[in-house]
Structure 1
Amino acid sequence: MAAYAIVEACGRQMWVEEGKFYDFNKLPFSPGDTFSLSDILLVNINDSVEIGQPYLNENYAVDLTVLRHFSGPKVRVYKMRSKKKTRKTFGHRMKLTRVLINSISRIANTKTTAFL
């Protein structure tokens, strides 16, 4: 099994694996930028599992590359108050950033660290 980690980013905990891409809430980076995540909760490399207390920030780093920014699926909201003839429809599209997990490594690099 490939190396994986459980990281905390954008207010969520996510299981990430090397070589796969994930969608985060919009990040303040340009496409092509590389950065590393700081809040790593669990790491499994070569079947050796390490659990943070609460984080493994000083021992591990998860390096990511920003692929693109895009809008998520459209959510339509319809509100109606019965017997009042009040109807309201509005929508929302979440702004997202697609990132590629480059590596989950033991030694932290001196790249830009994002505290999400």
Structure 2
Amino acid sequence: MNIYAIIETGGEQLRVEPGRFYDIRHFASLKPNNLSSNTKILIYRVLMIRNKASISIGHPWLRNAIVKGRILHSHLENKITVYKMNSKKKTRRKFGHRQNSARFIVDSICLDGKELYK
């Protein structure tokens, strides 16, 4: 597809296209209990938009650029196990955690009030 945007969310940068879904950790300002299905979201931290032949680059973000989407569902990621051992001290420590994650689909990319793709 010729239209895509690079956004910053969850501490990482993603290349997103309309009509595709992505998994995001640490969704900005949303708690896991607020991430119900079909919750509409707007992402304002858009770093770059490519629309066919033209490229718009922000410094650091584009003004008047919005990526619109909705949450499909929230879930827990696979468990990460951390094991620490000091061989001479005979100490061992094992713990793990699962991070909250949300799957969202990009509905449209807007620049200066015009939707580039619906």
- TM-score normalised by the shorter chain: which range applies? 0.7 to 0.9
Report the equivalent of 1:33: 39
Residue deviations 1:57-99, cap 9 Å, x none? 32x2110100111011111111111122211111111111111
Structure 1 distance, partners of 2:42, 2:18, is 13
Q: Aligned pair in 2 of structure 1 residues 103, 86: CA closer, same or farther (>3 Å)?
A: same
Task: Give the one of 105, 111, 116 matched to 2:110.
Answer: 105
Task: Give the one of 90, 96, 101 matched to 2:95.
Answer: 90
Report the equivalent of 2:19: 19
Task: Give the one of 66, 72, 83 matched to 1:78.
Answer: 83
* Counterpart code for 1:53: H
Question: Does the 8 Å CA contact 1:24/1:98 hold for their aligned counterparts?
Answer: yes
RMSD over aligned CA atoms reads: 1.7
Runs (4 or more) in structure 1 with deviation over 4 Å come to none
- 3-state SS, counterpart of residue 77 of structure 2: strand
Residue 46, structure 1, aligned to residue 61, structure 2: no
Residue deviations 1:39-66, cap 9 Å, x none? 11100112211111221132x2110100
Higher relative contact order (CA 8 A, sep 6+): 1
TM-score (norm 2): 0.81
Residue deviations 1:7-64, cap 9 Å, x none? 1112221111111111112432322111210011100112211111221132x21101
Residue 10, structure 1, aligned to residue 16, structure 2: no
Structure 2, unaligned runs of 5 or more = none
Structure 1, unaligned runs of 5 or more = 110-116
Structure 1 distance, partners of 2:94, 2:10, is 28
